[in-house]
Chains A and B, each alone.
Chain A
């Protein structure tokens, strides 16, 4: 059995170190070593999008990255988007628009939208659809997810324009 290796990550702004086997995925490392079970594993081969997280400013499938490969990276997971009890505008819009039922796929959708709307705050509907196309949801039929995404985009825009009471 190959030896475990020590890795250091910055997860949701916090420095963490842990020991992993070379074959451990980053998803398993986050869930099992660091207790961050918000990142969900659906298919474990990159198809479903449930495990999508942000690694060094780019979205990634946590099931397709080895934890050892992420050594030294800065990571944002779904646990890092809300502020305490206050949901992120994307999460809030998902709740209001009934964009989730069982919720299994939701963390992946949220992380993809979080990164897309940071990179391209004015992304049009076609671009949003293109990015959401990398995610499977077996409950909602996607329509409400798209509605929530468009609502979140507008709220994030308002927040940037300095409207009170809305957080970017």
Chain B
């Protein structure tokens, strides 16, 4: 199980990287941490003629926290972000989710940006990005563009990135104004510790001084063909005080009309069932957290 031969290219600036990518387009693959791409190369699921490594592009692994946003450069390693106290402060949901991504040795090399462009429907990071109304910044010789995460993910391993674009930055938005209390939870079921989830749910809640839920974000992953927000369930929670009936309704609405994937790991029925249970657990845990937060 070895990759097919390819030409290796290690640009030392972003301009050089996008220039090489523009020249090769579809024939090239961009290598970040390699924890998804290298297995696909080894199994020959992809056979690029050119591999463009981002390892030597300076400053692409920067992490900046500004105005409630966590801005993560395309080469920032998952473990570095997981251990970043400023990220934990502004985006604890991301920190919690990273603990569920594969294993420490994988997170040491794997990048946030790589997980986002890989777009596995069962990956945690894209679900958190969608839930927090994050953005994806793409760059090519044609220029730079930033798009909302929920427009970026198009299906399994499919995104809105054009063949000549590479991911420069991913930004996770604030859940709520800093004056509001927040609570969050990620729940998933996987066959083995560290595996991709068979199904999972991300929930983030904000409450006001009147103990009402001011905002709610709910996203499912590993269920549909991409991470998806559940707006009707979010709306059902907003303005309530999280009465038991409101939480139950929201959990039911979150999986109503869900179009669950079916594959050799789980039937669509099992995925939908798991999603219902997991979203309920995540709502309950996020709710307890947000209400206990003084």
Contact = CB atoms under 8 A, between A and B. Distances in A.
A112 B35 CA distance: 17
B38 A22 contact: no
Interface in A11-67: 21-23, 25, 28, 44-46, 49, 52, 58-61, 63-66
Place the interface of chain B in its size category. Answer: 20 to 34
Given A1-B5, A22-B6, A134 B194 contact: yes
Nearest to B53: A69
A68 interface: yes
Interface in B95-114: 102-106, 108-109
B104 A59 contact: yes
Interface string B6-19: 11101000000000
Contacts of A46: 35, 38-39, 102, 106
B38 A64 contact: yes
A134 B102 contact: yes
A64 B109 contact: yes
Given A45-B38, A131-B103, 5 more contacts: A25-B2, A46-B102, A46-B106, A61-B105, A61-B106
B104 A65 contact: no
A131 B103 CA distance: 7
A25 B193 CA distance: 26
Contacts, number: 92
A68 B35 contact: no
Given A66-B34, A68-B8, A69-B34, A59 B39 contact: no
B231 to A, nearest CB: 35
Contact of A45 (B4, B31, B39, B51): B39
Contact of A131 (B7, B34, B104, B109): B104
Nearest to B34: A64
A133 B194 contact: yes
A46 to B, nearest CB: 6
A44 B1 CA distance: 7
A66 B8 contact: yes
Interface string A117-131: 000000000000011
A84 interface: no
Shortest Cβ-Cβ A-B pairs, 6 listed: A134-B103, A22-B8, A45-B39, A59-B105, A133-B193, A58-B108
Contacts of A45: 1, 38-39, 42-43
B99 to A, nearest CB: 8
A23 B103 contact: no
A5 B102 CA distance: 31
